[in-house]
Amino acid sequence: MTPDEALKSPLTDVAAAVRAGKLSSADLVARCLANIEARDGVLKSFVHVAEDALEQGRRADAAATSGIATGPLHGIPIAVKDNYLTAGMPTTAGTEAAIAFPQEDGAAIARLRAAGAIFIGKTRMHEFAWGMETPPTCNPYDESRVPGGSSGGSGAAVTAGFCLAATGSDTGGSIRIPASLCGNVGFKPTFGRIGRSGIVPHSWSLDHAGPLARNVADAALLVDVMSGYDPGDPGSANEPPSDLSQALTQDARGLRVGVCRNHFFEALDPEVERSVEAAIALLGRLGATIVEFEVPELKYGLGAIFAVELSSSTAYHLPHIAAGHVDAYAEDVRMLVEMGRLVTGSDYLQAERYRELLAQRFQDVFSRVDVVVGPTMPITAWEIGQKEVVLGGKREAVLETSWRFTYPWNLLGLPAISIPCGFDSKGLPIGFQIAGAAFDEANVVRAASVVERHTPR
């Protein structure tokens, strides 16, 4: 296998080739570094490239030669979002403020390292995971457009071939949004599935860790590797690591596919709507049962996620506000961090009570369906600097538009994936979102894999 072939092959095949001595990990790393050198001056997806990346590759090759390489990610170059603490690489969480973060691995990074991953560098993120644009990173499909955020560097890096996969974090859509806009797969498993120790917090009860990858199988494998109980994360579920490999080959026959017609299909770009409806029809043709429903209580969700996210983020940043560190934050992030001081305690608790109600509504939904599908976002990648969009005759701030369909799954803590389902007339990728019941990532992967197998890329 050549490095160029590896960039197009599933991770299981690439790692097997490295372990068998049929592909040099060092050569693969060198290919990724050459891609970074050639294009990241424009895309700006990395904030740090590991000085020892090639050496990590050589060590992986030596381990393969001596027969001690067994990890499922052996020799695979993976990029790390810059809010994951890492031994041997600095962390900034996207800020220029003078805040020192320790250089040590958290649970998910330790699991990736133990699986044989090579950490090629740290990817740019919207400061403190508070935003959907990740400046100054550009979209690989159109460099005049945003890659999404907050894991925008990871989204751009995966699509541009700078790495074979990347880590992300998702508080209101920050894995799925860049995956949708950059045309790759972003997977946020159930809250608690992947431990978050060693990830700079944004909003404790909404933050999820997960991968961005080139295909569904790679994303599923990374969730398998990163998942498992993390005693360092109070939100961690006492569940064994997932095993999603069998879901990748199942078909759609008998799958109950829910389509929530309110909220998730409102004020939608017509080209996005056409692609998403085509994917739903495809699932129906392949044997799935389509079940349409509505959840009227979703109309209270935006106030709820704002109340929880703002107040939680501000509670985390309170010492930085007091110390004046916020003077060094970007203006948009500083504004959000300060606005959290205006959310009252009773509003916060109203939001947490609402989450309980919404959880009951969707528990009922998931007694009738296996997955819920729809668009990841109402739009495709917008131009850098664009502030508003007109959808359904209504003018809306593009940042409000961007997370409308993703944040409900953070309030609910349920697994959700974004996969490509087509392109608009500008050649920009469109994302299809599939969500599942708590800890039922298998049905999410099953549906995603079916759509992927039948969708030309």
**Residues catalogued as catalytic:** 81, 150, 174
Q: Give the nearest distance from C-beta 322 to another protein in angstroms.
A: 7
Q: Give the nearest distance from C-beta 237 to another protein in angstroms.
A: 14
Q: Give the nearest distance from C-beta 250 to another protein in angstroms.
A: 33
Q: Could you tell me if 321 and 338 are in contact, meaning their C-beta atoms sit under 8 angstroms apart? A: yes
The CB density around residue 174, as the number of other CB atoms within 10 Å, is 36
**393 three-state secondary structure:** coil
Q: Which residue's CB is nearer to another protein, number 235 or number 241?
A: 235
Q: Give the nearest distance from C-beta 35 to another protein in angstroms.
A: 38
**Distances in whole angstroms, Cα of residue 254 to Cα of each of 284, 371, 443, 447:** 10, 12, 11, 11
The number of CA neighbours under 13 Å toward the Cβ of 388 is 5
Q: Give the nearest distance from C-beta 181 to another protein in angstroms.
A: 24
Orientation angle between helical segments 53-65 and 25-43, nearest 10 degrees: 160
CA 105 – CA 86 distance, rounded (Å): 5
Orientation angle between helical segments 216-226 and 441-453, nearest 10 degrees: 160
Residue with tokens 């300060």: 338
End-to-end CA distance of the chain: 22
Q: Give the nearest distance from C-beta 221 to another protein in angstroms.
A: 27
Q: Give the nearest distance from C-beta 230 to another protein in angstroms.
A: 8
Q: Name 227's Cβ contacts closer than 8 Å, sequence gap at least 6.
A: 111, 189, 193, 194, 239, 241, 242
Q: Which residue's CB is nearer to another protein, number 122 or number 193?
A: 193
Residues that bind another protein (CB under 8 A): 197, 205, 231-234, 297, 299-300, 302-304, 306-307, 310, 318, 321-322, 324, 335, 338-339, 341-343, 347, 349-357, 359
What stretches of 19-90 adopt beta strand conformation (E)? 46-49, 77-81
The conformation of residue 368, written as its DSSP 8-state character, comes to H
CA 314 – CA 428 distance, rounded (Å): 35
Q: Could you tell me if 375 and 433 are in contact, meaning their C-beta atoms sit under 8 angstroms apart? A: yes
Characterize the bridge pairing of strands 289-293 and 208-213. Answer: unpaired
Q: Give the nearest distance from C-beta 205 to another protein in angstroms.
A: 7
Q: Which residue's CB is nearer to another protein, number 142 or number 266?
A: 266
Helices within 131-233 (DSSP H only): 152-159, 176-182, 216-226
Q: Which helix (H) or strand (E) holds 170?
A: strand 165-170
What is the longest distance spanned by two Cα atoms in the chain?
64
